[in-house]
């Protein structure tokens, strides 16, 4: 058996409490309830991946994803990880509607490969790791909770705030203004998570501008299938517009490029995996679009894998890798992320550098 052959794989649950409910226009997470996928090579090298299941966003379930991971374990046993391009294609065929399972397996493959090669994962994507500083999310909440959250994170040193909106236009306006007051001279991103129509989005942006607040980014303002609405906001809002849920694959990226549907593409490995995520980034950059790196409700394992992708490629303008700050005790297990949201991967010896406890 070759050292690079996959000997076996296992699946386990990853559960943790959150510091607060993570509310968006599509629903909320009350705790972290994900799945871990562990590969072991013939020489004993291990690789880890995580499936972040967000049923209220993607429709995936723990049961479905667990079944997909068991299937992947059977299909990959005895295969050589040097064939990762072909294995990635196989995974996309096996799990066309269960991308979190694909992300978990693909991440484990590349973690094991780069551990076996004794290189950090970022080196798989580039020559040196760019420094990354994440924004911090202000979840949907009442006005007072929004104010207190913004003040807390501002005092900790965060200088870019991503405000979740999309449920109540009037309240969202007040909440954004409250964040701006609590965090003056800071960048404000708005993320509607498909919650608004193009008309409502343009109305909100206009009202904010009259009050001296110009969003630095407007993410997925309309339903993912509403391409005309997305294009209208991109054309008329006068601020950078980011496609998130609308772009989950290479064909959708090509459509966004062709139709000039957005200025920015948000890449999440839970949508596309690491390898297609890299290809989407290359296509978007070739077309002159900006890039955002984001994620679902993920632990430090998956968040840091995404940081490797962004740091290695070095072409991401917007960074949204903040979910460890919402998971109890998550920072204690991540030596590459500081309390102000800065990722430094220069000290990673091999692979992702994170082994789940």
Domains of the chain: 6-116 (3.30.390.10), 122-343 (3.20.20.120)
pLDDT at 35 over 70: yes
Task: Count the Cβ atoms, other than its own, within 10 Å of residue 210.
Answer: 8
Least-confidence region, from 25-29, 32-36, 164-168, 331-335: 331-335
Query: What span, in angstroms and rounded, lies between the C-alpha atoms of 47 and 120?
Result: 12
Mean pLDDT on 336-353? 96
354 Cβ neighbours under 8 A, 6+ residues apart = 48, 300, 301, 304, 305, 333, 334, 336
DSSP code, position 330: G
> How far is 153 from 163, CA to CA, in rounded Å?
13
DSSP code of residue 129 = P
Q: Quote the pLDDT of residue 332.
A: 64
Query: At 331, is the pLDDT very low, low, confident or very high (cuts 50, 70, 90)?
Result: low
Q: Can you give the pTM of this predicted structure?
A: 0.97
User: Looking at the predicted structure, is the pLDDT value of residue 101 above 90?
Assistant: yes
Sheet containing 264-267, strands listed edge to edge, beginning at the edge strand earlier in sequence: 136-138, 160-164, 187-191, 217-219, 241-243, 264-267, 290-293, 318-319
Mean pLDDT, the chain, as a whole number? 96
Q: Return the pLDDT at 3.
A: 87
Residue 144 has pLDDT above 70, yes or no: yes
The whole-angstrom distance between residue 73's C-alpha and the CA centroid of its chain comes to 24
pLDDT at 336: 96
Give the pLDDT confidence of 145-182 residue by residue, as tens digits: 999 999 999 999 999 999 999 999 999 999 999 999 99
- Does residue 55 register a pLDDT over 90? no
Mean pLDDT of 322-331: 88
Beta strands in the chain (DSSP E): 6-24, 27-41, 46-51, 132-133, 136-138, 160-164, 187-191, 217-219, 241-243, 264-267, 290-293, 318-319, 342-343
Q: For 202-230, how does the pLDDT look when each residue is reduced to its tens digit (9 = 90+)? A: 999 999 999 999 999 999 999 999 999 99
Is the per-residue pLDDT at 330 higher than 80? Answer: no
Residue 1 has pLDDT above 90, yes or no: no
Q: Any idea which of 49-58, 135-144, 176-185 has the lowest mean pLDDT?
A: 49-58
What is the distance of C-alpha 162 from the center of its chain?
13
């Amino acid at each position: 058996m070759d050292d690079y052959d996959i000997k076996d794989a296992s699946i386990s649950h990853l559960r943790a409490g959150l510091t607060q409910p993570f509310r968006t226009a599509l629903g909320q997470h009350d705790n972290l309830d994900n799945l871990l996928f562990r590969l072991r090579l013939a020489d004993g090298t291990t690789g880890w991946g995580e499936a972040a299941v967000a049923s209220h966003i993607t429709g995936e379930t723990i049961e479905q994803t667990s079944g997909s991971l068991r299937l992947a374990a059977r299909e990959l046993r005895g295969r050589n990880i040097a064939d990762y391009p072909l294995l990635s294609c196989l995974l996309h065929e096996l799990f066309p509607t269960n991308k979190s399972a694909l992300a978990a397996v693909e991440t484990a493959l590349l973690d094991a490969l780069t551990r076996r090669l004794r290189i950090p994962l970022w080196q798989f994507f580039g020559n040196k790791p760019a420094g990354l500083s994440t924004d911090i999310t202000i979840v949907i909440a009442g006005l007072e909770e929004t104010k207190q959250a913004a003040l807390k994170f501002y005092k900790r040193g965060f200088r870019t705030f991503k405000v979740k909106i999309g449920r109540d236009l009037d309240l969202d306006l007040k909440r954004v203004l409250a964040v701006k007051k609590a965090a003056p001279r800071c960048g404000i991103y708005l993320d509607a998570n498909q919650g608004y129509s193009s008309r409502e989005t343009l109305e909100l942006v206009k009202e904010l501008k009259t009050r001296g607040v110009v969003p630095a980014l407007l993410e997925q303002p309309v339903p993912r299938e509403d391409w005309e609405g997305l294009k209208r906001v991109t054309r008329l809002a006068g601020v950078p517009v980011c496609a998130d849920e609308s772009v989950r694959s290479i064909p959708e990226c090509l459509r966004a490029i062709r139709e000039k549907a957005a200025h920015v593409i948000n890449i999440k490995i839970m949508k596309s995996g690491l390898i297609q995520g890299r290809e989407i980034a290359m296509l978007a950059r070739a077309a002159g679009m900006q890039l955002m790196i984001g994620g679902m409700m993920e632990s430090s394992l998956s968040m840091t894998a995404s940081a490797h992708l962004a740091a290695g490629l070095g072409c991401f303008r917007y960074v949204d890798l903040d979910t460890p700050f919402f998971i109890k005790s998550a920072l204690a297990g991540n030596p590459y992320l500081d309390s102000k949201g800065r990722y430094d991967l220069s000290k990673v010896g091999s692979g992702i550098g994170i082994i789940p406890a």
